[in-house]
Amino acid sequence: MWFGAWPYHCPAGGAQQAAPSQTLSVLDLLPPEVCSLLNPAAIYANNEISLHDVEVYGFDYDYTLAQYADSLHPEIFNAARDILIEHYKYPEGIRKYDYNPSFAIRGLHYDIQKSLLMKIDAFHYVQLGTAYRGLQPVPDEEVIDLYGGTQHIPLYQMSDFYGKGPSIKQFMDIFSLPEMALLSCVVDHFLGHGLEFDQAHLYKDVTDAIRDVHVKGLMYQWIERDMEKYILRGDETFAVLSRLVDHGKQLFLITNSPFSFVDKGMRHMVGPDWRQLFDVVIVQADKPSFFTDPRKPFRKLDEKGSLQWDRITSLEKGKIYRQGNLFDFLRLTEWRGPRVLYFGDHLYSDLADLMLRHGWRTGAIIPELEREIRIINTEQYMHSLTWQQALTGLLERMQTYQDAESRQVLASWVKERQELRCLTKALFNAQFGSIFRTFHNPTYFSRRLVRFSDLYMASLSCLLNYRVDFTFYPRRTPLQHEAPLWMDQLCTGCMKTPFLSDMAHIR
Question: Is 198 among the annotated ligand-binding positions?
Answer: no
pLDDT for residue 18: 39
Give the pTM.
Answer: 0.87
Rounded to whole angstroms, how far apart are CA atoms 328 and 295?
9
pLDDT in tens, 56-72: 999 999 999 999 999 99
Would you name the residues annotated as active-site residues?
60, 62
pLDDT in tens, 411-453: 999 999 999 999 999 999 999 999 999 988 999 999 999 999 9
Question: Is 403 among the annotated ligand-binding positions?
Answer: no
Domains of the chain plus CATH, in order, are: 43-49+368-457 (no CATH), 51-68+229-365 (3.40.50.1000), 71-224 (no CATH)
Compute CA distances 22 → 47, 490, 498, whole Å: 43, 21, 12
Rounded to whole angstroms, how far apart are CA atoms 498 and 8?
6
Rounded to whole angstroms, how far apart are CA atoms 464 and 273?
22
State the DSSP code for 124: S
pLDDT for residue 25: 55
DSSP labels for 190-248? HHHTT----HHHHHHHHHHHHHHHHHTTHHHHHHHH-HHHHEE-HHHHHHHHHHHHHTT
pLDDT in tens, 15-46: 343 344 455 555 555 444 444 688 999 999 99
Per-residue b or e along 191-229, where b marks 16 or more CB atoms closer than 10 Å to that residue's CB: eeeeeebeeeebbebbbebbebbeeeebbbebbbeebee
Question: Is 140 among the annotated ligand-binding positions?
Answer: no
In the chain, which stretches have pLDDT less than 70?
1-36, 483-507
- Residue 445: which of 43, 170, 164, 180 has the closest Cα? 170
- Residue 278: which of 56, 51, 52, 50 has the closest Cα? 56
pLDDT for residue 302: 87
- Interhelix angle 176-192/72-86, rounded to 10 degrees, is 40
pLDDT for residue 154: 86
pLDDT for residue 287: 92
Query: For 361, phi and psi rounded to 5 degrees?
Result: -85, 150
